[in-house]
Amino acid sequence: MEFIKEYFSGKDTTFIISQVIGFIAAALLLLSFQQRTHRRIVIIQACSGFLFAVQYLMLGAYEGMIGNVVGFTRSIAYSFRGRSKAVDHIACPAIFAILAGIGGIATYSNPASLLPMTAMMITSFVNWSPKTQQLRALNMPTSAMWLIYNLICSSYSGTVTEILNLISISIGLIRFRKKGNS
């Protein structure tokens, strides 16, 4: 309890609320990789992405905010994978990658701001894949990018998220490989 007190001492209300929102988003993201179906993974990730966008807005980390707005929209679209010809077309992930790139260029402030843009461009293709094991595995490098970005922009909940996210992805890979799920 003392750690929590020290963590929040001297911080303004906006910062504290942003971290709480970030931890809720983190819980959702970690939960997403434990789902069996692609649809459930991306729907839960959409909710997480929306909350992370709010957190980054509150922190003034606009690159992360834009990346998560694109990610939120993308996850909603991808939840229709296999049910919509438009979403199933290869142009769909390309469009989201381009949007992430445009958002990243528009909010560029320093070399670190390229990390969320690059991560979102990559995950536009990764999360489009209907293969859940591939989705889990290929999210690992993008989690590392977000980890570095979160450290730089003082998103402590985001930092913890990405550490736990890497662990959760690893568990999901092992857990579902043993059961023979794809």
Q: How many CA atoms lie within 13 A of 5 on its CB side?
A: 2
What digits encode the pLDDT tens for the residues 100-120?
A: 999 999 999 999 989 999 999
Note the helical H segments in 33-182: 38-59, 62-78, 85-88, 91-106, 114-126, 132-152, 156-178
Q: What are phi and psi of 146, to 5 degrees?
A: -65, -35
Tokens 């958002």 belong to residue: 103
pLDDT at 148 over 90: yes
CB 160 within 8 A of CB 26: yes
Domain residue extents for the chain = 2-178
Which pTM value belongs to this model? 0.79
CB-CB contact of 78 with 49 (8 Å): no
Q: In which band, very low, low, confident or very high, does the pLDDT at 172 lie, cut at 50, 70 and 90?
A: confident
Burial class (CB in 10 A: 0-12, 13-18, 19+), 86: exposed
Please name the residues in contact with 64: beta carbons below 8 A apart, sequence gap of 6 or more: 52, 53, 56, 116, 149, 150, 153, 155, 158
Distances (CA, A) of 67 to 3, 27, 37: 31, 19, 24
**153-169 pLDDT per residue, tens:** 888 888 998 898 889 88
Report residue 179's pLDDT band, with 50, 70 and 90 as the boundaries: low
DSSP string across 65-86: HHHHHHHHHHHHHHTTTTT-HH
Average pLDDT score, the chain: 87
Q: How far is CA 56 from the centre of its chain?
A: 12
